[in-house]
Chains A and B, each alone.
Chain A
Amino acid sequence: MPLIEIISLNKIYDKTKVPVHALKDINLTIEKGEFVAIVGPSGSGKTTLLNMIGGLDSPTNGKVLINGINISKIKSDELIDFRLKNIGFVFQSFNLIPVLTAKENVEFIMLLQGVTKSEREKRTIELLNAVGLGDKIDSRPYELSGGQQQRVAVARAIASHPSFVLADEPTANLDSTSAEGLLDIMKELNQKLGMTFIFATHDNKVIRRVRRVITLEDGKIKSDVFQN
């Protein structure tokens, strides 16, 4: 069973005067352990597709199956729980909880999952060490650079042991060095832990590193290319 299976997915935003057909008949399969980028120009539908996969938005028609479960059939509140257990998110503007330290931000997600205190502490330290922030565990987000904040966000995203991580323009607000450092970490997590990463991006640094590039144009899949 594929990790993600998208079948005849359509999304039409009809609240505007002229309905916008954001996604048109998308069919896609992503397997566990993939390192994939959804690319395309602004307005091509890549963020919409990412939101559909993340269960943040519902399709007009079609299906999104995650581990065989049709997430568009799950009720809103149950979907929050589903996301907690199955999906990690990395956002463009980091979106850490500003009043919590790096350690607490990572720990928070595990607390929601009911992970024991000792296990939480152990895993948090491991993850922050893995993203190179072992010496910043007690720093608040405003004390960290953009790159460091995004690394905390990655640690938070994988802390819950999700099935995959969705990263929407994760390098957009980072300088080149930070972006490269972040991608190194993500690639390593992908290779070592087999963690699936799905990016929505138009950053070439990301596109160069992924193994698969899905290009969207006007809401349709223009190409789906595997690369070395």
Chain B
Amino acid sequence: MKLYLVLAWRNIWRNKRRTILAALSVIFAIVLAIFTRAMQHGSYDYMIDSAVRMYTGYLQIHGKGYWEERSLENSIEIDDEFLKQIEAIRFVEIAVPRLESYLLVSSKEITKVANVVSTDPEKENQMTKLQQKITSGKYLSQNDEGLLIGEGLARMLNVKVGDSLILYGQGIYGTTVATMSPVIGIIKFAIPDLNNSFIYLPLIYGQKLFSMENRITTISIMITNPKQISYVLNEIRKIVNDNYNIMTWEEMMPELVQGIQLDSVSGLIMLFILYLVITFGIFGTIMMMTAERTKEFGVLLAIGVNRSKLVLITTLEAIFISFIGALTGLIVSYPLVLYFHKNPIRFSGELAEISLKFGVEPIIPLSNESGIFVAQTLVVLLIALLSSLYPINYIRKLKPIEAIRL
């Protein structure tokens, strides 16, 4: 085998310039492919993280049927121990309990419907950075008996910090909820729907208001490594019983999944074009290397080198060229990707403004997932093997007598 390796290695350097050019085309394409893919995956990861951090979390635990009916009757009873158990699971960053319902909200003359979220203020802030959205007043504390109101809703109701609002509606099992609550702070969401409809209460206050001590409707869970979502899901399943329903962000936000899938297809088309460039680079070189050695192949067949050995040599040549390109491409792209992973690309202009409005930093951190590097390298090696099909076919049909005469 050693001599075949030596032969193939020396063969590729018969024409140094051509081999270097072929390797350069592979290097260029592989760097571009890895960079594009890392940017794409990085932007998806960031997009998902931003979206789930805004409200839903990567996972949510509900009472059975809550997601479909949104009824307080499907709420669940929990205690601190339960939350601690969830948070003790590996990769769980935080578990935020919420009691969500709709109530009528009235100021002096105006009444509106509001989405009332009773939450643990500290944990909510840890997950959604709600405190940063305060435009006036102060943030909630555990034992406050007041509320935070979306800027749009506050404008519609014509209230400011210090004013009081009447909350009125239906609690669990048909009980009536009615109270007057002071506005502690006003928050501004980038998304108008949230801005015009959201009210936040401290969880203890909300539970008291709805007569639902120790009950909640939702636990939103953030995880430190989104790739471990299945692991976390399984671990939660071990803790909860059949009365609970666990949903992933993909089930809760199918439109985001579809958006990513659609974008991913365009990315794959781009990658396909890059692979074509690589294919032409390698294939062209292999084709030339094969054609110019027709006579040599004829002589080798004549002296007794069988076709499989010739195929082995030409395949090794294709692999060598691809490997040189792929390895150098990896060496070049790894620090590049790592740099942009730690120092994300910042975009500006209109897109950046929209992004900022949604409370998302206008950046694209590159993904440094090892899978991207491995996949690109394997694809290039696969292309090399496919390119070596040409000499295989060429050698298979070659007649030594005709080749020697050339």
- Whether the Cβ atoms of B302 and A89 lie closer than 8 Å is yes
Neighbour of A112 across the interface among B6, B10, B309, B401, CB < 8 A: B309
Q: Does B136 contact A (CB under 8 A)?
A: no
The digit string for B286-306, where 1 denotes a CB below 8 A from any CB of A, is 000000000110011111111
Chain B interface SS verdict (over half): helix
The minimal Cβ–Cβ distance linking A103 to chain B, given in whole angstroms, is: 11
Q: Does A6 contact B (CB under 8 A)?
A: no
Neighbour of B3 across the interface among A51, A54, A77, A111, CB < 8 A: A111
Q: Does B400 contact A (CB under 8 A)?
A: yes
A160 to B305, CA, bound (A): 12
Given known contacts A56-B401, A95-B296, A108 and B3 CB-to-CB distance under 8 angstroms: yes
Interface positions of B from 1 to 53, Cβ below 8 Å from A: 3, 6-7, 10-11, 13-14
A104 to B10, CA, bound (A): 12
- Whether the Cβ atoms of A80 and B306 lie closer than 8 Å is yes
Choose among A57, A80, A111 the residue with the greatest number of B CB atoms under 10 Å from its CB: A80
- Whether the Cβ atoms of A80 and B299 lie closer than 8 Å is no
Which residues of the partner chain A approach B301 to less than 8 Å between Cβ atoms? Answer: 80
- Whether the Cβ atoms of A107 and B307 lie closer than 8 Å is no
Given known contacts A91-B299, A97-B7, A99-B10, A109 and B401 CB-to-CB distance under 8 angstroms: no
Which residues of the partner chain A approach B304 to less than 8 Å between Cβ atoms? Answer: 80-81, 83-85, 87, 109, 112, 160
Neighbour of A107 across the interface among B3, B295, B400, CB < 8 A: B3
A135 to B219, CA, bound (A): 84
Which residues of the partner chain A approach B302 to less than 8 Å between Cβ atoms? Answer: 54, 56, 83, 89
Q: Does B404 contact A (CB under 8 A)?
A: yes
The digit string for B241-268, where 1 denotes a CB below 8 A from any CB of A, is 0000000000000000000000000000
- Whether the Cβ atoms of A83 and B303 lie closer than 8 Å is yes
Which residues of the partner chain A approach B296 to less than 8 Å between Cβ atoms? Answer: 95, 97-98
Interface positions of B from 272 to 331, Cβ below 8 Å from A: 295-296, 299-307, 309
The interface on chain A, measured as residues whose beta carbon lies within 8 A of the other chain's beta carbons, has a size of: 28
- Whether the Cβ atoms of A100 and B303 lie closer than 8 Å is no
The digit string for A58-99, where 1 denotes a CB below 8 A from any CB of B, is 000000000000000000010011011101110100010111
The minimal Cβ–Cβ distance linking A92 to chain B, given in whole angstroms, is: 10
Which residues of the partner chain A approach B303 to less than 8 Å between Cβ atoms? Answer: 83-84, 88-89, 109, 156-157
Which residues of the partner chain B approach A160 to less than 8 Å between Cβ atoms? Answer: 304
Which residues of the partner chain B approach A112 to less than 8 Å between Cβ atoms? Answer: 304-306, 309
- Whether the Cβ atoms of B3 and A99 lie closer than 8 Å is no
A10 to B11, CA, bound (A): 40
Which residues of the partner chain A approach B401 to less than 8 Å between Cβ atoms? Answer: 51, 56-57
A129 to B204, CA, bound (A): 99
A98 to B14, CA, bound (A): 9
Closest residue on chain A to residue B300 by CB atoms: A97
Which residues of the partner chain B approach A95 to less than 8 Å between Cβ atoms? Answer: 295-296, 299
- Whether the Cβ atoms of A99 and B306 lie closer than 8 Å is no
Which residues of the partner chain A approach B10 to less than 8 Å between Cβ atoms? Answer: 99-100
Which residues of the partner chain A approach B300 to less than 8 Å between Cβ atoms? Answer: 97
The minimal Cβ–Cβ distance linking B325 to chain A, given in whole angstroms, is: 21
The minimal Cβ–Cβ distance linking B338 to chain A, given in whole angstroms, is: 39
Which residues of the partner chain B approach A98 to less than 8 Å between Cβ atoms? Answer: 14, 296
Which residues of the partner chain B approach A57 to less than 8 Å between Cβ atoms? Answer: 401
Which residues of the partner chain A approach B307 to less than 8 Å between Cβ atoms? Answer: 77, 80
A72 to B400, CA, bound (A): 15
Which residues of the partner chain B approach A51 to less than 8 Å between Cβ atoms? Answer: 401
Choose among A89, A91, A97 the residue with the greatest number of B CB atoms under 10 Å from its CB: A97
Closest residue on chain B to residue A113 by CB atoms: B304
Taking A111-B3, A112-B309 as known contacts, 18 extra A-B pairs with beta carbons closer than 8 A to each other, sorted by chain A number, are A56-B400, A56-B401, A77-B306, A81-B304, A81-B306, A87-B304, A97-B7, A97-B296, A99-B7, A99-B11, A99-B14, A100-B6, A100-B10, A108-B3, A112-B304, A112-B305, A112-B306, A157-B303
27 residue pairs A–B, Cβ–Cβ below 8 Å: A51-B401, A54-B302, A77-B306, A80-B304, A83-B303, A84-B304, A84-B306, A85-B304, A87-B304, A88-B303, A89-B299, A91-B299, A95-B295, A97-B300, A98-B296, A99-B13, A100-B6, A100-B7, A104-B3, A108-B3, A108-B7, A112-B304, A112-B305, A112-B306, A112-B309, A156-B303, A160-B304
Please report A residues at the B interface, Cβ cutoff 8 Å: 51, 54, 56-57, 77, 80-81, 83-85, 87-89, 91, 95, 97-100, 104, 107-109, 111-112, 156-157, 160
Please report B residues at the A interface, Cβ cutoff 8 Å: 3, 6-7, 10-11, 13-14, 295-296, 299-307, 309, 400-401, 404
The 4 closest A-B pairs by CB, nearest first: A84-B304, A99-B10, A95-B299, A56-B401
